[in-house]
């Protein structure tokens, strides 16, 4: 297990005490595909979509495979956050540079039509046209009506100026940035007025197909994958207790339980947003519901 799991009550509280590991929850990952033959993804992938009709396979060192491992690695070499969740893999571009809004919209429509509970859009655009923005907003409303939680990375940038990236900046999408093992904002995680929470996404060990371990790529998409796994655990918890999983409520819950960098800047901090995701605080709230 990497530091993000070792330092968290996810294993002891959700996995061991409550037997919640994401069972029955479907998470769609929209990006550049995965390596489906990776030993830790065997049995995890329940559906696949390719925007251009090509194979969903990608280079195993790329973001998509690492994201899938972060979410739902089965324990052959390592464990994901929700190791019994189902994955829906949407390949909407051959690489990050080739992904366009049309591919994202097609992938999102596919994910919603195929029973996704959570959709992690592992990409960011610097701009959307008015028609693309309108189409995305319609899709977000559809997701809300179906109680599907959408999330996306804040983006990668090292400059001091706050950035606006899409779809993370759209209302109704959880915007995720990165922190390191010392609970500090990662230098490659963009600053943004739209940022909701920071999640682990730096110096995490992930397995290669041959069992060797490497550190995760420096990309905010992987923190987004981490939060997709967390959302799957919340969804499984809610389902067991007969509670409605409402996306707006979940975003509010994650914001409220995040640990702020400074209380006076909670929600307006361009580096930390509402704060660092806290499994401890989240579980305390869920226990008292």
The whole-number pLDDT of residue 28 equals 98
Low-confidence ranges of the chain (pLDDT < 70): 1, 59-61
In terms of C-beta density within 10 A (0-12 exposed, 13-18 middle, 19 or more buried), how is residue 193 classed? middle
The whole-number pLDDT of residue 60 equals 60
d(CA 92, CA 190): 23
Q: Which domains does the chain have, with CATH numbers?
A: 3-287 (3.40.50.200)
* Listed residue (234, 186, 221, 233) closest to 34, CA to CA: 221
The whole-number pLDDT of residue 58 equals 76
| Statement: the pTM of the whole predicted model exceeds 0.85 | yes
């Amino acid at each position: 297990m990497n530091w993000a799991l070792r330092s968290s009550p996810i294993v002891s509280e959700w996995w061991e005490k409550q037997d919640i590991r994401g069972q029955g929850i479907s998470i769609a990952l929209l990006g550049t595909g995965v390596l489906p033959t990776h030993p830790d993804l065997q049995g995890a992938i329940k559906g696949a979509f390719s925007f251009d009709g090509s194979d969903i396979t990608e280079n195993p060192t790329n973001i998509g495979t690492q994201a899938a491992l972060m979410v739902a690695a089965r324990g052959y070499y390592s464990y994901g956050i929700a190791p019994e969740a189902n994955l829906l893999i949407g390949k909407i571009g051959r690489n990050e540079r080739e992904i366009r809004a049309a591919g994202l919209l097609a992938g999102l429509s596919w994910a919603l039509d195929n029973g996704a509970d959570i959709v992690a859009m592992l990409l960011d655009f610097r701009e959307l046209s008015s028609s693309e923005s309108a189409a995305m907003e319609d899709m977000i409303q559809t997701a809300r009506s179906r109680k599907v939680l959408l999330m996306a990375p804040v983006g990668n940038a090292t400059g001091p100026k706050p950035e606006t990236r899409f779809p993370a900046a759209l209302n109704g999408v959880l915007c995720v940035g990165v922190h390191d093992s010392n609970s500090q904002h990662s230098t490659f995680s963009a600053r943004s007025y739209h940022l909701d929470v920071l999640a682990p996404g730096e110096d995490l060990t992930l397995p290669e197909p041959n069992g060797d371990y490497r550190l995760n790529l420096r990309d905010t998409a992987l923190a987004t994958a981490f939060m997709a796994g967390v959302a799957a655990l919340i969804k499984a918890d809610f389902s067991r207790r007969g509670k409605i999983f409402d996306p707006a409520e979940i975003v509010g819950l994650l914001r409220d339980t995040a640990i702020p960098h400074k209380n006076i800047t909670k929600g307006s901090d361009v580096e930390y947003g509402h704060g660092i995701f806290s499994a401890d605080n989240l579980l305390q709230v869920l226990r008292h519901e």
